[in-house]
Structures are given as structure tokens and as C-alpha cells.
């Protein structure tokens, strides 16, 4: 069977695609309508190490000195791992506390959890705040995507876990931020590409440089694959641009444009029997209904940073975007015909915008420097959601039929926040913050028919989330810290959409999850030349009213609150260099995530009275108890050669709340080699990578609480990847 990606069949005219020139023109239009911003807080008085990361909104400092678990993956590492440079899963395995699974399904995005938060998401990213160049990649309801993150042009990725992530708002598990590198001072043009099995190929072009007060970086990528599994072909095209302009000595302007086009087939999950029989097969229903997804997204941002004087700064960030999604699902025809069923085709247009305004003051107290930040964040989305039958009269499947759902959903968030950072003498420093977030959801149902009542409604949530941390600087090479935070996580618009008993209207009885987290950690490094570093943290998070699946069948998922959960664990990370080019890295996590109280759930829909027990002590689905990544590398600078052996381990993963089945744990090995040559203004690179050296069969991810028991998403066997790049510096 030919698995190449077929053009999606749409009966309405698609949105016009934007060229790079059109993007920049629209960006200038946005700038004329909104004022924007971003600035860096650089203390000339602080006795701490130089600023390197953003630990909390508006406060930048060294990851070593922050009272939080923070990891930074530099751009050189992002592009030096001999990877495809398409998915965050390629590099985030290096970060303890994170589990990032490539689902081998570009119609569903990656599966990301941080200290066990976000694992329940069946599509997109949940429970984790996402940012690209300071612009949120998650809506005010907490649902986000990472498919537009551009690894080729990234300067770094920052990952924050634990209590201080609550200062970013509607999320409990952590923060992932990607930052595009700035251009200049030289002009550099680069072309790179990669080839792999199943007709996998990626081509990227970049141009960066500086013209007077303007610095620029532009990146464009095209990725295609026929997919390892049947019916899993995908094509993704991305464009990312970042312009920095010095308006004056104390004022900087940054313009950001990002465009994404995705076309992907959806092979769906497999039952255990199907996975064990043939892991490369697609779910038969996927072929019958031609399940697939298309996404077109355009996002524009403008950032302004102004220094009032040596101690005070203002910064503003403004952004707007539109994301169109068309998804064909595999829902039986008889189920789709039910009067209250929304059909088998999701047609969603989301328009979103936001503004973040901050004031930053740097001063002194008798004990040392003080930095105070106060700000206001506004976010809003407007979703035009329609549902269609995935069939037409006469029996044709996989084509859009009659309208079955038509509604407008809105989510608005407003959040004032304040925080302070204090240096308390030579040995102590502190960081504390407070955020008050209010989120309102509204749904206007435009499809009211006999048997399908009006689903309109609204609901509001609000919470105050404090966080505080204290660092003891025992030595220039050793820091010990403690942190505490209170977070909350509202339901998403999708989670509010249906009531478990089949009644019409929003599930307004669904409450936000409230978490209380603490963390104790230690960080050590070689202060002389930083040839080694080590960090360890022990943590616990207790959540009240955890949002969990109530029922999930027939294309409808309803949710409820579980009384309580507990996540506790230990993280360890270390790296070092020694001898003639040798280096090593280790990242390991032990995480025990369980339901602390018994509750009842459903076995099907509609479910007027949950009757299936989930025992106290049951493990949260989608979360392995153990995960680890290790790397041993050798580099010969004279030859421009670098080689490495990698190992990744993921423990057993339960597939549902009752722990009735689980994906077995696995350990896989990979090897890579990279060559570099410099010839005048030219730099050439070539790489080879082999994954899953032992050709181990395993499930790379699971779909949690899938009502049809199609929980397993297989991972490929042994595979190879070849790549090359050429860059010229003018």
C-alpha cells in the first residue's frame, strides 16, 4: 500500500498560505496596532554568578544560583546530537523529571510530562507552560502545542520544573521555553539536510546577520516522511524569523514571525494484541475513515524593552495568531448519527492574542541587591468550532458530510503578578513571587436541533499562586536550596465540553486542580574551569481535585475530579569532561505518582453514575516510575570528529487509571558520529546516527484511558539517519 501523504480533502477554500515577505508585512501591521516588549535584567551589583536563564517571569539569573530545578540545552547541543532537528523529543530526554515521547504520529504532537504533570493529555501538551521567544505556545486554558518550535535556529531551550513554575499561571508541572538565536555580527548563510528510512527527509535554510542597528535571523524548514507505521505519512513546513532593532541607546525592539503548515495521517493507537502481532500496522478504522489532520498556523509578535535609568526598566510583549485545524476521526457511522453527537470531523479555527507588561526595579537593601518585578499578563482565545459527519450519503467514508456542531468558545485570562529577588549577605539569597490568575470560559452554541439541546454556558476560575525559595551558598562550588509553591490547573475547553451523564451544556461542575509542591536540592560544580557539574533534588506535589478522565468512547471524552494525588520523587543530573576529549552525561529520575484516595469512574458513555472503582495507591497512567538518559562521548578536535554512545531507559507505563495493563519498560541504545571541516569562510558538517541498536520492540508511548483499549503507540526498530550542512560566513 502506498503510504505517501495524500492532499487533505476540504470542501471549503483553504486559507491562503503566507510567503516570508507577506509574513513580515503582516508583522509590521501588527506592530502599528499594538505596543510590545522584552528586556533582560542585568544586575551590576549582585554577588551571584552571571545571568544565564529566566527562572521566573522577569527575573534572570544563573541556573546554578536559582532556588529551582532548571536545565539549559544550548543550541550547539541541539544541533550537535546528529538528530533530525524536528522534534523536542530528540533532546529533552537529557533533562531529568521530563518524559518526552515521540508518538510516531505527527497528527497528535508529542507527549510531554514534567514530574508526572501533563501525562493524561491524549493530544497536544497539557499541564506545562510553553513559550517561544517569550510568546506563550499554550492558551489561557492551558492546552498547548510545540510543533512550531524551530530547533534549527534556537539559541537554547530552558526547562523549569517544580514550585516556581506556578508563577507562570495555569499549569502545574513546569515550563519549557525556546529562544531563537540573534543574528550578527557576521552574515552567515547555511543549508542543512537529513535523510532517513521510510523516505524521511528534512531540508533547512538559514540566513543571519547584522546591518547597522538591525540584527536578523530567518529560518525555513521542510520535513517529509512516509512514516514507520502504515498510514502515518506527514509533511511539515515551518518558517521562523527574529529581527532585533536598536531604536535608541536605551530602547530595543524585537519582531518575531512564525508560520507552520502540517499535513499528517493518523494511524491511531493499537490494542495489545494488535501491537504484539504487527507493530507497524495502522488501526483498521484509521484506513476505513482515512484519519488525518491538517494545521495552518501564523503567529506574530513584537517586543519592546526600554531602560528608564540605571535601576528601572519597562518591558512589553504583544502577540497575535491564528491556528486552523481540520481533523478526521474514526467514529462509527451509527455513533455519529446520534442527535447529540458532534460528528467525526473537527473543524477548528482559533484566534488568539495577548499582552504582558512588566516594570522592573533594581535597588539595594542593607543586606545586598534587590530586584523587584511587577506585571500584568492578558491572554484571550476565540475558537470557531464546527463538527461534521465523516461520511456522506451513499456510504463514502473519510469525507466531510453534514454539519453536526457549530459553536463559538472563548477563554480569557488576566493575571497580575509580583516577585522579588534578594541577596541576603554573602551566604544567602531568596526569591519569592505571587500571581493571581482569573480565567473565564464561554460557549455559544449555534447548533440547536431536536435531540441536541443548547450547550451554551460559561464558567469562571480564579486562584492565587505563591512561590518562595531560599538558597544557601555554602561555597562558590556548592549551593543548597529549598522551595515551595501552590499551583492550579483549570480544565481546558475540550475537557469542559461534555458532561459524563450525556446531558447538554458545559461540565461546569469540573473544578480546577490545586497543587502544593515543595523541593529540596543541591547543586555543585567545578568552580575553577567548570569541567564537571552535579545537581540533585527531592520533591513532592500533592494535588486536590486532580482532573481525570471519566469516560472516553465514541469520540467523546468527559472528565471529573479525583479527590487527590501524590507525586514524589528524586532527580539526579551530572556531567563532566576529562582526559583527551572524553565527556559523559547522566540524567535519572525516580517518580512515584499515585492516587491518594479511592474514587469511581465509568466504563462507557453515557454514564449517569460512575460505578467502576479506582483503588487508592493506583499509579497515575502515562507516567513511568523510572527514566534515565546516559551519554559517553569522545571528541578529537584536530580531526573535527565527535562520537558518542547513548542509552535511554523508560520504566513500565500504566495505560489507565485502574492499572489494568501497562506498556513494558525498555532500554535502547544509540550511536552517533559527526565530522566538521573549516575551509576559509566555509564550515562543513556531516553526521551519521543509528537508533535502537539492538532492534528492540517496544511501545514508545501510550494513549491513556482510551475507551476502546487502543492504548499502544509502537516505536520503530533499528533505524539510521544521515545528515550534512554547509555554512558560509561573509
CA distance 654 to 664: 9
CA distance 667 to 691: 12
Residue-range domains of the chain with CATH: 20-729 (2.40.170.20)
What pLDDT, on a 0 to 100 scale, did the predictor assign at position 393? 82
Q: Is the pTM of this model over 0.75?
A: yes
CA distance 616 to 701: 25
Which residues, listed in sequence order, are joined to residue 632 by a DSSP beta bridge?
584, 645
For the cut 60, the answer to whether the pLDDT of residue 30 exceeds it is no
What pLDDT, on a 0 to 100 scale, did the predictor assign at position 359? 96
What pLDDT, on a 0 to 100 scale, did the predictor assign at position 56? 62
Say which residue the cell 491556528 belongs to. 323
Percent of the chain with pLDDT over 90: 73
**pLDDT bucket at 127, cuts 50 / 70 / 90:** confident
Per residue in 54-93, pLDDT tens?
656 666 778 899 999 999 999 989 888 899 999 999 999 9
Query: What rounded mean pLDDT belongs to the chain?
Result: 89
Give the mean model confidence (pLDDT) for residues 146-153. Answer: 93
CA distances from 622 to 301, 619, 702, 710 (A): 34, 9, 6, 14
Question: For strand 662-663 and strand 532-553, is the pairing parallel, antiparallel, or unpaired?
Answer: unpaired
**pLDDT bucket at 206, cuts 50 / 70 / 90:** very high
Neighbours of 652 (CB within 10 A): 13
SS3 at position 24:
helix
**pLDDT bucket at 530, cuts 50 / 70 / 90:** confident
CA-nearest of 507, 607, 608 to 553 is 607
For the cut 80, the answer to whether the pLDDT of residue 254 exceeds it is yes
For the cut 50, the answer to whether the pLDDT of residue 98 exceeds it is yes
**Selected residue with higher pLDDT from 626 and 38:** 626
Inter-residue contact 86 to 110 (CB < 8 Å): no
Neighbours of 394 (CB within 10 A): 5
Inter-residue contact 532 to 591 (CB < 8 Å): no
What pLDDT, on a 0 to 100 scale, did the predictor assign at position 55? 56
What pLDDT, on a 0 to 100 scale, did the predictor assign at position 11? 35
What pLDDT, on a 0 to 100 scale, did the predictor assign at position 191? 97
Per residue in 225-245, pLDDT tens?
999 999 999 999 999 999 999
Give the mean model confidence (pLDDT) for residues 556-570. Answer: 92
Amino acid at each position: 500500500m502506498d503510504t505517501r501523504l495524500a492532499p487533505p480533502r476540504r470542501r471549503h477554500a483553504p486559507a491562503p498560505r503566507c510567503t516570508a515577505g507577506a509574513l513580515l508585512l503582516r508583522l509590521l501591521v501588527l506592530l502599528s496596532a499594538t505596543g510590545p516588549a522584552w528586556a533582560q535584567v542585568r544586575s551590576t551589583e549582585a554577588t551571584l554568578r552571571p545571568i544565564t536563564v529566566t527562572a521566573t517571569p522577569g527575573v534572570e539569573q544563573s541556573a546554578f544560583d536559582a532556588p529551582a530545578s532548571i536545565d539549559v540545552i544550548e543550541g550547539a547541543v541541539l544541533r550537535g546530537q546528529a538528530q533530525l532537528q524536528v522534534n523536542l523529543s530528540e533532546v529533552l530526554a537529557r533533562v531529568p523529571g521530563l518524559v518526552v515521547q515521540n508518538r510516531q504520529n505527527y497528527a497528535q504532537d508529542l507527549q510531554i510530562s514534567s514530574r508526572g504533570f501533563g501525562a493524561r493529555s491524549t493530544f497536544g501538551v497539557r499541564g506545562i507552560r510553553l513559550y517561544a521567544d517569550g510568546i506563550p505556545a499554550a492558551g489561557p486554558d492551558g492546552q498547548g502545542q510545540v510543533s512550531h518550535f524551530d530547533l534549527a535556529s534556537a539559541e537554547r531551550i530552558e526547562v523549569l520544573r517544580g514550585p516556581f513554575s506556578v508563577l507562570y499561571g495555569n499549569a502545574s508541572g513546569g515550563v519549557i521555553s525556546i529562544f531563537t538565536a540573534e543574528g550578527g555580527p557576521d552574515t552567515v548563510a547555511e543549508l542543512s539536510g537529513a535523510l532517513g528510512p521510510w523516505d524521511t527527509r528534512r531540508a533547512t535554510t538559514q540566513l543571519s546577520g547584522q546591518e547597522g542597528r538591525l540584527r536578523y535571523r530567518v529560518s525555513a524548514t521542510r520535513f517529509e516522511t512516509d512514516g514507520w507505521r502504515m498510514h502515518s505519512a506527514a509533511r511539515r513546513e515551518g518558517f521562523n524569523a527574529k529581527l532585533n532593532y536598536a531604536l535608541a541607546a536605551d530602547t530595543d525592539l524585537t519582531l518575531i514571525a512564525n508560520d507552520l503548515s502540517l499535513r499528517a495521517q493518523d494511524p491511531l493507537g493499537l490494542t495489545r494484541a494488535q501491537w504484539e502481532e504487527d507493530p507497524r500496522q495502522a488501526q483498521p478504522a484509521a484506513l476505513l475513515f482515512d484519519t488525518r489532520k491538517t494545521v495552518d498556523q501564523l503567529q506574530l509578535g513584537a517586543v519592546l524593552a526600554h531602560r528608564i535609568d540605571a535601576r528601572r526598566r519597562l518591558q512589553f510583549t504583544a502577540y497575535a495568531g491564528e491556528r486552523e485545524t481540520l481533523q478526521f476521526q474514526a467514529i462509527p457511522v451509527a455513533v455519529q448519527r446520534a442527535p447529540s453527537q458532534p460528528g467525526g470531523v473537527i473543524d477548528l479555527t482559533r484566534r488568539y492574542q495577548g499582552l504582558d507588561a512588566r516594570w522592573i526595579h533594581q535597588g539595594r537593601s542593607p543586606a545586598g541587591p534587590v530586584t523587584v518585578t511587577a506585571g500584568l499578563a492578558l491572554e484571550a482565545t476565540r475558537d470557531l468550532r464546527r463538527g461534521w459527519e465523516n461520511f456522506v450519503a451513499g456510504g463514502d467514508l473519510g469525507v466531510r458530510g453534514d454539519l453536526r456542531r457549530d459553536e463559538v468558545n472563548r477563554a480569557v485570562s488576566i493575571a497580575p503578578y509580583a516577585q522579588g529577588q534578594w541577596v541576603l549577605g554573602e551566604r544567602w539569597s531568596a526569591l519569592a513571587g505571587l500571581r493571581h490568575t482569573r480565567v473565564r470560559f464561554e460557549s455559544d452554541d449555534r447548533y440547536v436541533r431536536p435531540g441536541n439541546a443548547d450547550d451554551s454556558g460559561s464558567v469562571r476560575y480564579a486562584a492565587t499562586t505563591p512561590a518562595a525559595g531560599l538558597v544557601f551558598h555554602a561555597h562558590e562550588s556548592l549551593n543548597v536550596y529549598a522551595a515551595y509553591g501552590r499551583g492550579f490547573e483549570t480544565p481546558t475547553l475540550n475537557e469542559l465540553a461534555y458532561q459524563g451523564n450525556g446531558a447538554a451544556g458545559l461540565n461546569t461542575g469540573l473544578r480546577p486542580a490545586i497543587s502544593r509542591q515543595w523541593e529540596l536540592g543541591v547543586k555543585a560544580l567545578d568552580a575553577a574551569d567548570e569541567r564537571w557539574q552535579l545537581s540533585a533534588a527531592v520533591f513532592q506535589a500533592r494535588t486536590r481535585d486532580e482532573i481525570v478522565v471519566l469516560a472516553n468512547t465514541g469520540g467523546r471524552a468527559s472528565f471529573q475530579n479525583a479527590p487527590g494525588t501524590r507525586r514524589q520523587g528524586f532527580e539526579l543530573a551530572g556531567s563532566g569532561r576529562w582526559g583527551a576529549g572524553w565527556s559523559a552525561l547522566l540524567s535519572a529520575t525516580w517518580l512515584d505518582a499515585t492516587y491518594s484516595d479511592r474514587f469511581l469512574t465509568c466504563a462507557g458513555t453515557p454514564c449517569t453514575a460512575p460505578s467502576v472503582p479506582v483503588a487508592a495507591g493506583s499509579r497515575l497512567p502515562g507516567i513511568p516510575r523510572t527514566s534515565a538518559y546516559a551519554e559517553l562521548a569522545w571528541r578529537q578536535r584536530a580531526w573535527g570528529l565527535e562520537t558518542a554512545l547513548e542509552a535511554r531507559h523508560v520504566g513500565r507505563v500504566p495505560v489507565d487509571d485502574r492499572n489494568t495493563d501497562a506498556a513494558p519498560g525498555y532500554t535502547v541504545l544509540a550511536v552517533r558520529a559527526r565530522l566538521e571541516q573549516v575551509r576559509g569562510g566555509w564550515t562543513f558538517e556531516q553526521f551519521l546516527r543509528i537508533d535502537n541498536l539492538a532492534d528492540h520492540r517496544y511501545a514508545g508511548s501510550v494513549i491513556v484511558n482510551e475507551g476502546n483499549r487502543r492504548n499502544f503507540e509502537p516505536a520503530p526498530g533499528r533505524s539510521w539517519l544521515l545528515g550534512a550542512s554547509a555554512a558560509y560566513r561573509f
